[in-house]
Amino acid sequence: MRHQEPDKGGFVQLGLLFILAALCHVGHSLECYSCINPANGCTTVVSCSHNQDTCFIVKAVLPKTYYQCWMFDRCSFEAIAKALGETELQYRCCQENLCNKSDGTSISGKTALLGILLLVAVWRFCL
């Protein structure tokens, strides 16, 4: 009976997948929706500055809605209310590209690509 060596191609693909995942997030600034009180949902996308590592959506009274880049360490009711000059608000901070979409269901193209590559690598590794 002949001993069969395991297929090393699966390990190589899995390693390349992890390298690709790391490179996808290096050197790119966070992208957020940026609007104040849009009529039909916010569609303006901006690249955040180097010190802005968070997106937020804020719903204040009137109703008034803000979408923009922000700093994670200032993601508190007090800091946001002071910066926007609002006394009553609800907010949500997040740290993924375009995560401050109003319905909260966006998925980036990079995330989808990495998911597909991971499935392919696992499929090939298991066969």
**Is 20 domain-assigned?**
no
**Is 7 domain-assigned?**
no
List pLDDT tens digits, range 91-121: 999 999 999 997 543 445 555 666 677 676 7
**Is 99 domain-assigned?**
yes
List pLDDT tens digits, range 54-96: 999 999 998 899 999 999 999 999 999 999 999 999 999 999 9
- Angle at alpha carbon of residue 25, lines to 18 and 45, rounded to 5°: 140
Strands (E), 5-124: 31-33, 35-36, 45-47, 54-60, 64-70, 89-94
CATH number for 113: 2.10.60.10
Rg of the chain over Cα atoms, rounded to whole angstroms, equals 21
Specify the number of domains making up the chain.
1
Residue 11: enclosing H or E segment and its boundaries? Answer: helix 9-24
